Amino acid sequence: MPVTRPQAATDRRAWVLRLGMPCAILSLMAASFTRDVGSSASQPAAAPADLALNSSVKQAMASLAANAGAITEEQIRITQIAAPPFQENARGAYLAKLLADAGLKVQTDDIGNVVGERAGSSTDVVMVTAHLDTVFPADTNVKARHEGTRIYAPGISDNGTGLAALVAVARTMRDAQIRTRHTILFVADVGEEGEGNLRGMRRLADAWRKRLRYVIALDGAASDYVSTAALPSQRVEITITGPGGHSWSDFGTPNAVNAAARGVARFVNTPTPRNPRTSFNVGEIEGGTSINSIPDKAVIKVDLRSESDAEIAKLAAALNAAIAAGVDEEMAWAQKRGMTGAGALSISSKVMGVRPSGALADGSPLLAAVRAADEALGNRSRLERSSTDANIPLSLGIPAVAMGAGGRSGGAHSLGEWYDPTGRALGLQRVLLTVVGVAGLDTAPDR
């Protein structure tokens, strides 16, 4: 697969869209943001030299490299436990066991977030998360298949990679007896994808708000980017209802699916700016009950994203106007055939989810920790903007990043999704150094 050349971390202009994105659809980093988060945070990141020279950290780094194969095996076991949206419990229970085995104090909250606590010398919290859920329905075949260096399975990378890294880093820190100043929470959270609407992270941010200093969301593969800005989005569901009828005897009766098709055809011609980058996706259309029945219902689900909240608002207005025009056109057609007496079409529209915007400040210690990790590893990474669990803390003013956990991937959110663990050790080490860097190494003598 084509892999883009990594950009220098300081280069904020040259951007290349990678294949193998996690659920996040990444886009250009705009020059300015609505909100800058975290520049005033007090803890400096450890200098790379300090971390790299620490014998416990060195041991942990070596152990991640030595165990890369076993980590991939664990990733496959995790992936093969289906975790459709709102049905993350089985996978969550397995992660609870793995995190407990890694020496953490584990609790599962009432919506299914699995929280493993590793106490530091302070009560301040660094939260490391990986989402449990996938986009795939329960009947999807999630059995992994090897082909060359690639492993194919829906969800193998997004977010098998993040979950495997979460466990591996926790376990390695225990084995290497790394002590940190901040308390670290290793969290497998629910509801990141689709209609989950970040509900897991919303709950976590709420529950830990007072102590939460930093959030690091591990999402998918790759080591060549760090996402420091939240891409806002809005998800809209529009339902058209009508009288329905027989395809032959009632022909001319207003048809809910026809109206949806007319409306969608109008909407998809809506122009979108390149800058601020803006996108829409008509992701689902459902309706009708049989081929020879006039549908009494059609449901359209649309995802709207932009670097600008104003563009999202414009798109939402365009969508509603287009569907309304589609319904009017269908009603006019029915009128021409003298069939409006059968009943009219009606529209209802609801916002299914909103992902808020926000951005990490250039001077944040969290970004410094990522850059220090990159420097220590000789890695180069670029800044990106994405829609992930990090949106929530960023929108609340809590410094957060999303990053991949190493290796390569492709086909995210498709049945052809694959993961290639080649080079995964680098990604795992990068995560470890970032977590320890921002949590602060506690080098005080034994208490």
Closest distance to Zn ion from the beta carbon of 128 (Å)? 15
Check binding of 402 to Zn ion (CB under 5 A).
no
Residue 222 vs 302, nearer CB to Zn ion: 222
Closest distance to Zn ion from the beta carbon of 436 (Å)? 23
79 within 8 A of 155, measured Cβ to Cβ = yes
191 within 8 A of 127, measured Cβ to Cβ = no
Check binding of 384 to Zn ion (CB under 5 A).
no
- How many residues bind to Zn ion according to rule CB under 5 A? 5
Which residue in this structure is represented by tokens 């152990």? 63
Check binding of 404 to Zn ion (CB under 5 A).
no
422 within 8 A of 149, measured Cβ to Cβ = yes
Check binding of 159 to Zn ion (CB under 5 A).
yes
Residue 81 vs 323, nearer CB to Zn ion: 81
Residue 227 vs 241, nearer CB to Zn ion: 227
Among 15, 18, 22, 92, binds Zn ion (CB under 5 A): 22
Residue 25 vs 439, nearer CB to Zn ion: 25
**Two structure tokens written together for 271:** 């122009």
Which position's Cβ is nearest Zn ion?
A: 23
Check binding of 190 to Zn ion (CB under 5 A).
no
Expressed in angstroms, the distance from the first to the final Cα of the chain is 51
H helices within 54-209, ranges in order?
A: 55-66, 68-79, 89-101, 160-175, 199-208
383-356-87 Cα angle (round to 5): 100
SS3 label, residue 409: strand
Closest distance to Zn ion from the beta carbon of 163 (Å)? 10
Closest distance to Zn ion from the beta carbon of 237 (Å)? 22
240 backbone dihedrals φ, ψ, rounded to 5°: -110, 125
Check binding of 160 to Zn ion (CB under 5 A).
no
Closest distance to Zn ion from the beta carbon of 79 (Å)? 13
| CA gyration radius, the chain | 24
Closest distance to Zn ion from the beta carbon of 186 (Å)? 17
Check binding of 158 to Zn ion (CB under 5 A).
yes
Stretch touching Zn ion by CB under 5 A, among 8-16, 108-116, 219-227, 268-276: 219-227
Give the span between the Cα atoms of 253 and 337, in whole angstroms.
8
Residue 22 vs 421, nearer CB to Zn ion: 22
What is the Cα 405 distance to its own chain's centre? 13
Identity of the amino acid at 12: R
Angstrom CA distances, 68 to 77, 108, 201, 365, 367, stand at: 15, 28, 28, 28, 26
**How many residues belong to the chain?**
447
The DSSP result for 290-321, as a single string, is: STTEE-SEEEEEEEEEESSHHHHHHHHHHHHH
407-408-410 Cα angle (round to 5): 150
Closest distance to Zn ion from the beta carbon of 222 (Å)? 12
Check binding of 219 to Zn ion (CB under 5 A).
yes
Residue 22 vs 254, nearer CB to Zn ion: 22
Check binding of 161 to Zn ion (CB under 5 A).
no
Stretch touching Zn ion by CB under 5 A, among 37-45, 212-220, 268-276, 282-290: 212-220
Residue 20 vs 243, nearer CB to Zn ion: 20
Residue 22 vs 440, nearer CB to Zn ion: 22
Check binding of 386 to Zn ion (CB under 5 A).
no
Among 7, 15, 18, 23, binds Zn ion (CB under 5 A): 23
**Two structure tokens written together for 55:** 């014998």
Stretch touching Zn ion by CB under 5 A, among 14-22, 99-107, 226-234, 421-429: 14-22
Residue 79 vs 253, nearer CB to Zn ion: 79
Residue 238 vs 403, nearer CB to Zn ion: 403
DSSP code, position 44: P
Closest distance to Zn ion from the beta carbon of 22 (Å)? 4
Give the span between the Cα atoms of 370 and 231, in whole angstroms.
20
Stretch touching Zn ion by CB under 5 A, among 35-43, 214-222, 233-241, 280-288: 214-222
225-228-231 Cα angle (round to 5): 105
Binding site for Zn ion (CB under 5 A): 22-23, 158-159, 219
